[in-house]
Amino acid sequence: METGDVFFKSTPAPEFLKEAWTQNALFLTNEYNELETNAIAIGETDFALGVDFLRKLEDKAKFPFLNGNLYVKKTNQLAFKPFTIHKIHDFKVGIFSVIRSDLNFPSELEAKDPLMAATDIVKTLKPQTDFIIAMTHLGYDLDVQLAQKVENIDFILGGHDGQTLPKPTKVGNTLVFQVGDQGKYMGVLTVSLQKGVHQFHTRQSVELGQLKVSQIDERLKEVREMKKGSMYGTDQSFKDNLDAQEQALLTEKFKLLEDVDLIQKQGSFYHHKVVALDEEQFNKGEAKTFSRVQAFKEKLKGVHEKQEKESTVTKAVQTNQNHTLEYGTYQTCVQCHQTQYDVWKVSKHATAMIPLYIRNQHKNPECVKCHSVGLQEPGGFTQVSNPFLKKDGTQEALETFLEKLVQTTEIPKDVKAEMEKNPKIKDAIQKKNIKGLMVELRELPAFDAWLRKRYIEAMEKSKWKKDFMGVQCENCHGARGLKDLAQKPVPHFSKSGLFSKKVSQSACLTCHTQAQDPTFDFHKDRNIKGEKSVIETEKTPFNCALGVF
């Protein structure tokens, strides 16, 4: 089962990604068919290509698309099937879905109160089923409210806000599960059911109860040994204290034994784990599925290559003051803003391509869009594979540049220490190939800092006319490569009417979306700071969001 935002990362789909997203959604639908999926919930980003396209996917799916509170405005009828009932062995399991109502939906749909909708659905399902599962797209806080306000839901499998719960939250008799987003983790839930029993326990809870009984027995043994001593017969206060301890321990023991016995006789058991979907855990996964995925990736590469135009730079924008405007990239900015450049180049924004290279996603336009500047924008660039423009007008390939990062034998001691602890990194560096390494850089600070330092050194040696890679000044401030009719550069500050120093929150939220960065806080995270591990400075020369320089 999936809890929403299955097919797309955001909505609406960027024009240059529509064909790739279409093919991706069709492929995922076929794969979910192969996996014999029970049902999926609808999330707001699943409408990225419109309601009609989502219905086409639904027609191809061998499983239902569920939602119980999205209505078609014209007819006031539910847009999707609200629930499904699956027979598993001798049990009938009801599965339904609701979505939060304050999200952006296509104009032809409206979302009604999800808790009221859930209440009505559960009333319908209760007499027809043995157990009820809610697949929600509400976020954790609303999941907890749902459990508090709507009775008779056994499990809530939640989505939307990207939280990962190592263990479920228990609200009354309802268990709330969350396993993150973007396919990083999978929740595996195994349940041993008894009809009519809606109290769920883990086997560990029984084992823990039995362990506590053993500990009490040990304490009882100590108390009874003390009662054999002479003080027990001569000191009344001592005698009363030991008797009281013995009775308290026996009371606690009998209560634990009753609880354990009740759980074993009347409880339903569950076992839940959150599994990281990484290469180390699954290697290549199931062979046939892996083969189909690899074939599809090759097909997708063809789609991206077809969409790339011959020129690496798109047409500049004509302003209303007889100027053209294009992306100048940091090469233009540094001419007047050296201080800001020095801070930017040691920030992780500048080296944002490294995490993509580690994941072999450095040529995926969907990812590169938020790790570069001006992709498919007027006055920007179109060729992900050739994002560097030399002074002679020729291009340099991204792959060629990134391969240089580990083409060295000079490796710092702290990096070598991490290599020894992680054979995967050691092997990759020795082979001088870190593409697709699939490691979490934040867990390898020395390796991470070394790669980023080498990236900047290589970048500055290259002396390109334009470099569109990395999150740059113009991601937040907009294009600043202003030229007159003779194509001579014009300082943007001389045309202040065209530009604003202040950066709006929307500029950040273009990429720091709820789905991609659920913990992002505009007011806390807007400061651009240098990395102290790379540059020794306590200065924070500018705050983009406030326009303070």
Alpha carbon 7 to its chain centroid, in Å, reads: 14
**Considering only the top CATH level, what class is 309-546?**
mainly alpha
> Which residue would you say has higher pLDDT here, 529 or 244?
244
- Nearest by Cα to 155 from 126, 177, 124, 122: 177
Look at residue 547 and tell me whether its pLDDT is greater than 90.
no
> Do residues 6 and 34 touch, judged by C-beta distance below 8 A?
no
Is-contact 193 176, C-beta < 8 A? no
Least confident of 133-137, 269-273, 368-372: 269-273
In the predicted model, what is the mean pLDDT of residues 252-265?
71
161 contacts: CB under 8 Å, gap ≥ 6? 139, 140, 514, 518
pLDDT above 70: residue 332: yes
Strand intervals (E) in 142-279: 155-158, 169-171, 174-178, 185-192, 200-201, 268-276
Q: Is the pLDDT of residue 498 over 90?
A: no
Euclidean distance between CA atoms 227 and 229, whole angstroms: 5
Buried b (16+ CB within 10 A) or exposed e, 282-301: eeeeeeeeeeeeeebeeebe
As given in the structure block, the two tokens for residue 509 are 């939220």
- Per-residue pLDDT, 242: 87
Which stretch of 236-245, 251-260, 303-312, 385-394 has the lowest confidence by average pLDDT? Answer: 303-312
pLDDT value of position 269: 66
Task: Please list, residue by residue across 342-353, b when 16 or more beta carbons sit within 10 angstroms of its beta carbon and e when fewer do.
Answer: ebbbbbebbbbb
Q: Identify the helix (H) or strand (E) that includes residue 514.
A: none
Average pLDDT of 100-114?
A: 94
Which strands form 481-483's sheet, in the order they lie side by side? 317-318, 324-326, 481-483
Do 315 and 379 form a contact (C-beta atoms < 8 A)?
A: yes
Residue written as token pair 């390898």: 444
Biggest alpha carbon distance in the chain? 111
Ramachandran bin of 385, using left for φ above 0, alpha for ψ from -120 to 50, beta for the remaining angles: alpha
Domain 15-199+268-282 has CATH 3.40.50.2300: no
pLDDT at 545: 36
Q: What is the mean pLDDT of the chain?
A: 83
Q: Would the pLDDT of 536 be above 60? A: no
Token pair of 396, please?
């340099």
258-278 burial, b at 16+ Cβ within 10 Å, e below that, comes to ebbeebeeebbbbebebeeee
Cα 274 off chain centre by: 14
Q: What is the mean pLDDT of residues 105-113?
A: 95
pLDDT digits (tens, 9 = 90+) for 465-492: 999 999 999 998 889 888 888 888 888 7
Flag the least confident range among 57-66, 219-228, 488-497, 518-527. Answer: 518-527
Long-range contact list for 18-25, CB < 8 A, 24+ apart?
Answer: 18/49, 19/303, 19/307, 20/300, 20/303, 20/304, 20/307, 20/365, 20/366, 21/48, 21/49, 21/366, 22/49, 22/53, 23/296, 23/299, 23/300, 23/303, 24/300, 25/49, 25/53, 25/57
- Greater pLDDT, 58 or 539: 58
Radius of gyration of the chain (CA): 30
What mean pLDDT is predicted for residues 416-443?
A: 88
Short-list 111, 100, 115, 121, CA closest to 73: 111
**Does residue 301 or residue 40 have the better pLDDT?**
40
Supply the pTM of this predicted model.
0.68
Task: Produce one character per residue of 449-458: b if its CB has 16 or more CB atoms within 10 Å, e if not.
Answer: bbbbbbbeee
- Pairing type for strands 109-111 and 91-99 reads unpaired
Examine the pLDDT at 337 and tell me if it is beyond 50.
yes
Count of Cβ atoms closer than 10 Å to residue 175 Cβ: 21
User: How far is Cα 165 from Cα 285, in angstroms, rounded to an integer?
Assistant: 24
User: From residue 458, how far is each of 102, 232, 404, 407 by CA, in Å?
Assistant: 46, 82, 8, 11
pLDDT greater than 50 at residue 69: yes
pLDDT over 90 for what percent of the chain?
Answer: 36
Q: What is the DSSP letter of 309?
A: -
